Amino acid sequence: MIILQPNKKPAPAAVQPAVITVSDLFRSFGSNHVLNGFDLTLHRGEIVVVLGRSGSGKSVLIKCIIGLIAPDAGRIEVLGADISSLSQDALDQVRAKIGFLFQSNALYDSMTVRENLEFPLRRHWIQVHQAELDGLVRAVLQDVGLEHTIDMMPASLSGGMQKRIALARTLMLKPEIILYDEPTAGLDPITGREIIDLILQVRNKYGSSALIISHDMRCVRLTADRIVLLLDGVAYATGSYQELSASNDSQIQQFFNS
Amino acid sequence: MFARESTTRLLSETGGLSAFTGRFFRNLFKPRFEAAEFVRQCLLIGYKSLPLIGLTAFIMGLVLTMQLRPSMIEYGVASQLPAMVGIAIIREIGPVITALIFAGKIGSSIGAELGSMKVTEQIDAMEVSGTNPFKYLVVTRVLACLFMLPVLVLLGDAISLYGSYIGVNIKGATSFSLFFTQVFDNLAFSDVLPAFIKSFFFGWAVGLIGCYKGYFSSKGTEGVGRSANSAVVVASIVIFLLDLLAVQVTDALGIN
Ligand SMILES: Nc1ncnc2c1ncn2[C@@H]1O[C@H](COP(=O)(O)OP(=O)(O)OP(=O)(O)O)[C@@H](O)[C@H]1O
Ligand SMILES: [Mg+2]
């Protein structure tokens, strides 16, 4: 792996403990070898962007981290727990601390916005009063600026609004880590910018760490504390935006010059 | 070549469905029953299918009666018309026709609903948020079908018999109470019970096959359409097979 980090200045995030550690991850589908020994570390409070071309296995990586896809080999540690060896209950406990923003939003289309937001709390209903739940729903909707949509159906919202509702849903459980799968893909530049601002606001407000998957260079530039370049199933290079964009490795260059 | 391919497909389909059935039973007895969703599904299923089932049942009873009348008169047993129709409806036509319509209406809608939830990653989203999607989506729907179909069959039977009563009265005059006395005097417990029991199995099959097709829908809108379609086809075939099995069982047990 090419590590682009100037020796004089230690990265500030590096002193924080790691919340996600992926080491030597392998996953293939038949003869399609998608991940071939991928490594990644995410520290507390940090935003790491995994940059890679379409079809390079970014979604597969993020689904391995949340336990939706089982890796063929390798180790994934999230908040100190080895994901592949957990019981269902323990896995659910870890998942409650992780927000996952799906590439397709995955809003429940038979439910209203309110019901969508309440759904992640179902497991904890016993402790939560209706009034408290209502306050919580309104608070996260306020965070994403969509309070008026509370009783609407997801299908009647625009793509950008759906993305924000999906983000609001991940915020319901105050996650320590948020995984974003291509948060700006398919949105116009202005709406994309709004989502980027929201991601930064969420980090500042909740102090959550974030792993963002993207091939939108503006999103990468504005959000990344550190970039990991996914190429041919491995972490080809890592470093800040400035460091990678100044690199003269042709494989790295092709992402920054397009 | 073609035969080999379709045999392989049939086998893998059967295997997949068996594994799914096993998973259903394992999840059935896991704690935290999704009662609210189960009740909601029962109401939704009843509400969606009752109009169609009612209409078909009424026409069935009416037409069956009108078609049978000439033959019954020819054999000189016209007075036995209500009894004859009653037995045909309660024992066979009611449960099977209702189940087939149920498969077409509810089986396909479950297949399409779960299929589109699958391809838009909503099922994954449930899993990630700590809700067991199998318990929440599959177990509730299968149980709702299992409980609702017998109810619908009973309602359908009643509506069918009413249709038959109208049919009898088109060319003749039989009072309401006489008609139903004739029907029920000729019905034994052994006519009603097996038919009632088999409708539980029909409902269970429709729910399970609809969910199976939806849950393993292939990507894309085309996949969703295929799930809905094959849910109906497979469920209808299974209904006939179960019906065949049921008559063998009642025969063997001497209930007839
Ligand atoms: N369930 C699956 N079964 C078979 N192959 C799969 C599956 N999921 C992903 N793949 C394959 O893995 C590869 C990587 O897919 P992935 O969805 O991770 O790409 P991606 O990097 O997220 O691309 P995009 O930017 O388009 O979202 C693709 O070749 C895809 O065909
Ligand atoms: Mg992807």
* B76 at A interface, C-beta within 8 A: no
Domain boundaries, position A50: 44-55+87-256
C-beta contacts of B32-40 below 8 A and 24+ residues apart: B32/B132, B32/B135, B33/B135, B34/B135, B34/B136, B34/B139, B34/B140, B37/B136, B37/B140, B38/B140, B38/B143, B38/B144
* Average predicted confidence (pLDDT) for chain B: 91
| Chain centroid, CA A161 distance in Å | 18
What pLDDT does residue A6 have?
Answer: 45
Q: What is the pLDDT of residues B159-170, one digit of tens each?
A: 999 999 998 888
Is the shortest distance between the CB of A175 and ligand 1 below 6 Å?
no
For residue B53, the model assigns a pLDDT of 96
Give chain A's radius of gyration (CA, Å). Answer: 18
For residues A114-125, average pLDDT: 81
Lowest mean pLDDT among A30-39, A194-203, B144-153, B218-227: B218-227
Q: What is the CATH number of the domain that holds A102?
A: 3.40.50.300
Q: Is A257 in the pocket of ligand 1 (CB under 6 A)?
A: no
* pLDDT per residue as tens digits for the range B2-18: 778 888 888 888 899 99
Q: Please check whether residue A15 lies inside any domain of the structure.
A: no
CB contact under 8 A, B130 and A109: no
List of chain A residues whose C-beta atoms are within 8 Å of the C-beta of residue B120? 104, 106, 109
Touching A: B residues 110-149, CB under 8 Å: 113, 116-117, 120-122, 124-132
Helix (H) or strand (E) holding A190: helix A189-206
Query: Does residue A52 have its Cβ closer than 6 Å to ligand 1?
Result: yes
In this structure, are residues B193 and B153 in contact, taking their beta carbons and an 8 Å threshold? no
First to last CA, chain A: 22
Has residue A126 got a pLDDT over 60?
no
The answer to whether A52 and A215 have CB atoms below 8 angstroms apart is yes
pLDDT (average), residues B51-59:
96
pTM of the model: 0.87
Is A201 a member of any domain?
yes
CB contact under 8 A, B128 and A122: no
Residue whose CA lies nearest to ligand 1 atom number 28: A55
Tokens of A219: 């999103």
Please say if the pLDDT value at position B108 is more than 50: yes
Query: Does residue B1 register a pLDDT over 90?
Result: no
Lowest pLDDT segment from A167-176, B105-114, B134-143, B195-204: A167-176
Cβ contact A179:A170 at 8 Å = no
Ligand 1 center to A33 CA (angstroms): 11
Q: Is the pLDDT of residue A106 over 50?
A: yes
- In the Cβ-directed half-sphere of B120, how many Cα atoms lie within 13 Å? 17
In a domain, A74, yes or no: no
**For chain A, what is the mean pLDDT?**
88
Q: How confident is the model over B212-247, as pLDDT tens digits? A: 999 998 877 788 898 999 999 999 999 999 999 999
Q: Does A180 touch chain B (CB under 8 A)?
A: no
Question: In percent, how much of chain B has pLDDT > 90?
Answer: 65
pLDDT at B59 over 60: yes
| Cβ <8 Å between B120 and A120 | no
Quote the percentage of chain B above a pLDDT of 70: 99
Per DSSP bridges, beta strands A234-239 and A2-4 are: parallel
* pLDDT score for A1: 67
A94 found inside a domain: yes
Which is the closest atom of ligand 1 to the Cα of A215?
25
More confident residue, B104 or A7: B104
- The number of angstroms, rounded, from the C-alpha of B163 to the middle of its chain's C-alpha atoms is 21
* Mean pLDDT of all residues in B193-219: 93
Residues A132-167 have pLDDT tens digits of 888 889 999 998 889 999 999 999 999 889 999 999
Whether residue A239 is contained in a domain is answered as yes
A110 inside 8 A of chain B by CB: yes
Atom index in ligand 1 nearest the CA of residue A63 equals 18
Residue A62, in any domain of the structure:
no
CA A118 from centre of chain: 21
| Tally of domains within chain A | 1
| pLDDT at residue A3 greater than cutoff 70 | no
ipTM of the complex: 0.87
Judged by CB atoms closer than 8 Å, whether chains meet at B127 and A110 is answered as no
**Residue A206 pLDDT more than 90?**
no
Q: CA nearest A97 in B: which residue?
A: B129
Q: What is the pLDDT of residue A7?
A: 44
Render pLDDT for A35-92 as a digit per residue (tens, 0 to 9).
999 999 999 999 999 999 888 999 999 999 999 999 999 999 999 999 988 888 889 8
| Average pLDDT value for residue range B133-143 | 94
Domain-embedded: residue A191: yes
